[in-house]
Amino acid sequence: MKVKLEKGVIIALIAAVSMALVNFSSAFSSREISPAVTIWFIWLTNAMLCLWFIVYRKKFVKFTKDCWKIKWLLLLMSLVATFAWFFYFIAITKRELSIITAITEAYPIMAISLGLWINKEKINWHQYLGMGLAIIGAVSLAFL
């Protein structure tokens, strides 16, 4: 029997392992140092890596022009994302990382729902099954 995987399954597995490592190291540093320093370090590291990549691809001028066009949206997005991570880090300093992360990682359910509702996307039966299992898992973890 030959099993056919969807495109991106390997990438999704790598991303899952990477996110687990990020979540664990973020929880550890938030508890040992502070949530604010953890966010600052992550944002600074990501900014430097992204900036290096943009400069490497010789797209810095285009990048700055594009950013200038949507500066208020970028500012709002940056503030919301920073506060979201800050509150996540505060939550994981007080409670169990595994439960909080499992609940917060249910955001793909919202993304799929918005895609179905707003973009009128079509998904297959096994994707509905996966979405259902994710909902059951998130709700179960919330009550355990």
Q: How does residue 136 score in pLDDT terms, banded at 50, 70 and 90?
A: confident
Q: Tell me: the pLDDT tens digits for 26-60?
A: 888 888 888 888 888 888 988 999 999 999 999 99
The domain limits of the chain are 9-96, 106-144
Joined together, the tokens standing for residue 102 give 């499992």
Percent of the chain with pLDDT over 90: 21
For residue 5, what is the DSSP state?
Answer: P
Q: Is the CB of residue 39 less than 8 Å from the CB of residue 102?
A: no
pLDDT of residue 62: 94
Residues near 137 by Cβ (< 8 Å), separated by ≥ 6? Answer: 102, 106
Query: Which of 84 and 56 is assigned the larger pLDDT?
Result: 56
Is the pLDDT at 68 greater than 90? The verdict is: yes
Q: SS3 of 55, please?
A: helix
